[in-house]
Amino acid sequence: MLRWAIIFFVIALIAAVLGFGGIAGMSMDIAKFVAVIAVILAIVSFVMNGMRGRGTRI
């Protein structure tokens, strides 16, 4: 998912250089949204993995 955020960020940069303000802003918003979702899912994954690892060890 982080790869998609980087792709949209690059699209936003290219659009900004070419002067397409609307497309650049929209791509940047999508990149921010996807990056935030990726970070949230990573944190949830780390927490769940940590909780699972402690409960199975005897």
Per-residue model confidence as pLDDT tens digits over 31-54:
888 888 888 888 888 888 877 766
Q: Is 32 within the bounds of a domain?
A: yes
Residue 55 has pLDDT above 70, yes or no: no
Q: Is 13 within the bounds of a domain?
A: yes
Q: What is the pLDDT of residue 49?
A: 81
The tally of domains found in the chain comes to 1
Q: Is 58 within the bounds of a domain?
A: no
pTM surpassing 0.75?
A: no
Domain that holds residue 40: 2-53
Contacts 24+ apart (CB under 8 A), 2-11: 2/34, 2/35, 2/38, 4/31, 4/34, 5/31, 5/32, 5/34, 5/35, 5/38, 6/31, 7/31, 8/34
Q: Is 31 within the bounds of a domain?
A: yes
Q: What is the pLDDT of residue 57?
A: 55
Q: How many CA atoms lie within 13 A of 28 on its CB side?
A: 11
Which of residues 4 and 43 earns the better pLDDT score? 43
